[in-house]
Amino acid sequence: MSVEDDRLRPTPFAREFRLSEILSPAGGFSPSPVSSGSHLAAGSLKYISQRGGYVALILNACFFAFLSYWLYHNIEFADLASQLKQIPLTAILVAMTMNMFVLLFYGSRLSTLLDGGLFSGFLIATMGFTFNSLIPLRAGEGVKIYFGHSYFRHAIGGISAAVLLEKLYDLTAIIILSLLIVVSSNSSIIDSRILIAAAAIISMIFAGIFTFRRKGVIWSLPKSRIVEAMRLDAIFQQAERLIADHSAARTAFFTASIWMTHVCLVYVAFRMLLPEIEFGFIHAMTLLIVGALAIAVPASPAGLGLFEAGIVAYLVNAYGVQKERAISAALAYHFSITAPHTLIVIGFLGVAFFRWLKERSTA
């Protein structure tokens, strides 16, 4: 069932891919304003996004200053350089190959939610991962919404709901993996009380979603000038239709495939990077959860620094790995999971840029 709405369809010119809009602080995916109310809302969003960018820059500068200070006083850089040179290239290539399957599963899940083709879902998901790697505060999620709306003509409300559902399914998978870790190893890293509370909240959210799916009720916002100006009623209807009509079984299957493949990726990568430690699937799950929680913090691009710090802390405390060796393994793993989608998006943007130049030259 389509979730498109004529009032929010992109114009024929929206398919022209404009990098300046994607990189703009406001995200560039709001509908065209039709009154002074929408101008006011857009101006407020732009003001908040600009000020938020300054705050994020200051916080990241403070964090990297502290990280640099810690590295300077705790790490032997000559030893670290030696450990980086010893990283087996095979481990990186294998991890990058396995990560491609993870990206394919992410794309399949998004295409299932949007009822579209695999190529569009794969490219939208990959675009989001890449911009999360480049811009702080998880801005890649906004880029996914804008890119899917402007380039592939998905309704704003529908793709926004799809991104939200992705996060809910992923959070559910993280909680399930955390429960397995607690049950299997009585891990002290994860507080079982917080885990149970999170599981209860997620269960209530999904219970509400499936109750809504069964009743099939479409909510409507109260009529007002600001609601009509920002077209919120249409956006909410698109989102509600997608939530009500999405295939929960297929979405759950692809979510399970994503996280099972990711566990295997971590297991294979660290068995090859650190062959001297006893590293099993439960340890791979634990390290995956540590990395997921670290990268989920809306701070530096791709969680740079925080991601490595979480992995290094786990390897040093759980296995007694030398700090320099743990940092080299964390950097190699982080590179392996970010390089594939970054290269794909760079290639796509390069092709789009040359097409744009060709159209300009022939105009």
pLDDT digits (tens, 9 = 90+) for 230-245: 566 667 777 777 777 7
Sequence-distant (≥ 6) Cβ neighbours of residue 292 within 8 angstroms: 174
Of the pLDDT bands very low, low, confident and very high (cuts 50, 70, 90), residue 188 is low
Q: Please choose, from the candidates 284, 273, 280, 268, the residue with its C-alpha nearest in 3D space to the C-alpha of residue 321.
A: 273
Q: What is the DSSP string of 207-272?
A: HHHHHHHHHTPPP-PPP-HHHHHHTHHHHHHHHHHHHHHS-HHHHHHHHHHHHHHHHHHHHHHHHH
Position with higher pLDDT, 11 vs 162: 162
pLDDT tens per residue across span 263-285: 999 999 999 999 989 888 988 99
What CA–CA distances, in Å, run from 125 to 37, 302, 352?
A: 32, 15, 17
Share of the chain above pLDDT 90, in %: 22
Q: Is 113 left (phi over 0), alpha (psi -120 to 50) or beta?
A: alpha
- The per-residue pLDDT for 323 is 86
- The per-residue pLDDT for 64 is 59
Q: Has residue 354 got a pLDDT over 60?
A: yes
186-198 average pLDDT score:
62
Asked if 147 and 16 touch (Cβ cutoff 8 Å), the reply is: no
In this structure, the number of other CB atoms found within 10 A of the CB of residue 76 comes to 12
Position with higher pLDDT, 129 vs 301: 129
Asked if 255 and 103 touch (Cβ cutoff 8 Å), the reply is: no
- The per-residue pLDDT for 49 is 47
Amino acid at 346: I
Rounded CA gap, 202 and 217, in Å?
21
Between 77-91, 221-235, 293-307, the lowest mean confidence (pLDDT) is in: 221-235
Between 1-15, 209-223, 288-302, the lowest mean confidence (pLDDT) is in: 1-15
Q: Has residue 29 got a pLDDT over 80?
A: no
pTM: 0.73
Maximal C-alpha separation, the chain: 66
- The per-residue pLDDT for 20 is 44
